[in-house]
Amino acid sequence: MLLSKFVRLLMAVLQIVGVVIAGIVGCLWLAMLWAGQLHRPKRAPPGSFGLPIIGETHQFVIDGRSKSPQVYADKRKAKYGQPVYTTHHMGYPTVMSIDPEVNKFILQNEGKYFVSNYPRSLRNLFGEGAIACTSGDLHKRIHNVVLSFINTTKLKEFVMADVEYVIKTALRNWEGRTVHVEEECKTCKENCVNVMKKIIEERRRKPQSEQKDILDALLADSDQNGEKIPDSIIYNNIMNLFGAGEETSPMAMMCAVKYIYECPKALDQLREEHYAIRKMKASRESLTWNDYTNCMTFTHQVINETLRLVNPAAGVNRKAVKDVEFKGYFFPKGWLVFPYFRNVHLDEAVYPDPLTFNPWRWEKKIPSMYYTPFGGGPRICAGQELAKLEIAIFLHYLVTQFTWIHHDDEIINFPAVSFKNKLPITVKALQR
Ligand code: HEM
């Protein structure tokens, strides 16, 4: 009896010791794997790979969701004494840069030294040949078609009236209600996707005689051998365009609503600018391209300042396709490269009192490499002109037709910009 108890106790102890030893061996194995697999070339910038497997991803997420998401990069710049350093994100060794000159070099050398690098899950979601994850000739073709369509002339002719109609209709429902701006923006989004599906079906049945929109332009495009872009790739790209614009522009609009509410002087000046435009029109007359380009100076300053502070795209993902050196910084082949714009947009030397919403700072010219909310180089945002136009038209109808009161809320910056309580505001029609 005593002997069997002793044997059972011994077995239990041996089991525990076994588990502990297996745990230690496992950890050692992981650590060795980590050290061996992530052998860091001597020339790589200083920095840390953080914890095995997760690296510093968790810290990036924690700081990203805090009220000061810029601290992640600030701390590392202070620790390593330079704005370009090694970290480890999403399972990969990464060189992160908050140096504007280095960021410009990375963006300009897309396809030569660096390529866009989305995780496999996102690539699957976007689908084959979608602009955001395709590269080489097909990328150039699609990017050029989209850019040449969303150029100012086409915007002037077709897009402005459509954008104005959608915004006017959406705002009409706001009157006298407490609206959650974030939700309202998403419901607009869903309507657009349904409309798009219908248009694609219709256009397939009955091709257009003249190119009115991006779909026509993509359907008509052919390479030097006369090869058309396959239908499946066209569909993926149209959906990709929706995806690229569906979060970013509405988020920027929402944040503009918050910033101008919190800065009454800016709201007054914005109202004045838009009243002046309305004064020259009959009551329901539409905005014109001339109004947008020549009569909205302060509106453009408000948009710039909003995007500077909010950063709908705080940085972009790249991968080094070969060993590269620039400005003394080394980017090892195969590593992720992460040009990060948020901290550049908060550089005190360029933007005094950087955390304050101050649209008047845009009265002076700011060097372009210090302001890249739309990225740069061959992958520069294909929808930037459209995004700015949408925000301007939205602000026009908002400030000329309504006053509003904010309820408590705060911005969350990660993974995408959003509001903790979906930004509730109570809207009242303006009596004029
Ligand atoms: C405030 C709003 C927006 C911001 C801040 C923004 C920002 C960006 C950024 C930073 C990139 C570069 C990505 C990279 O380099 O990897 C990008 C790419 C892109 N954006 Fe936007 N975007 C906005 C609105 C829009 C809209 C409204 C559309 C279209 C309807 C759009 C379509 C695209 C497309 C198609 C690309 C991929 C370009 C390429 O890879 O060649 N964006 N955007």
Q: What is the CATH number of the domain that holds 343?
A: 1.10.630.10
d(CA 378, CA 333): 21
Greater confidence (396 vs 218) lies with: 396
Owning domain of residue 414: 57-429
Res 194 pLDDT > 60: no
From atom 18 of ligand 1, which residue's Cα is the shortest distance away? 381
**Run of H or E including 243:** helix 231-262
What are the helix (H) ranges across 280-410? Answer: 289-294, 297-310, 384-401
**pLDDT tens digits for 346-386?**
999 999 999 999 999 999 999 999 999 999 999 999 889 88
Residue 45 lies in a domain: no
Mutate to test the pocket of ligand 1, among 147, 374, 380, 413 (most ligand atoms within 8 A of CB): 374
Residue 49 lies in a domain: no
Res 227 pLDDT > 90: no
Residue 66 lies in a domain: yes
pTM of the model: 0.87
Greater confidence (175 vs 152) lies with: 175
Residue 260 lies in a domain: yes
Separation in Å, CA 377 to CA 109, 130, 140: 7, 18, 12
- Please give the DSSP secondary-structure letter assigned to residue 363: G
From atom 9 of ligand 1, which residue's Cα is the shortest distance away? 374
Q: Which residue has the tokens 């970290």?
A: 87
Mutate to test the pocket of ligand 1, among 381, 386, 413 (most ligand atoms within 8 A of CB): 381
Tell whether ligand 1 has an atom less than 6 A from the beta carbon of residue 345. Answer: no
**pLDDT tens digits for 100-159?**
999 999 999 999 999 998 877 777 767 777 888 888 888 888 888 888 777 767 667 677
Residue 3 lies in a domain: no
d(CA 315, CA 149): 26
Q: What percent of the chain has pLDDT over 90?
A: 50
Separation in Å, CA 309 to CA 69, 145, 396: 11, 31, 21
Q: Which pLDDT does position 127 carry in this prediction?
A: 74
Mean pLDDT over the full length of the chain: 86
Domains held by the chain: number: 1
Residue 40 lies in a domain: no
Angle ∠(238,239,242) on CA atoms, nearest 5: 95
Res 166 pLDDT > 60: yes
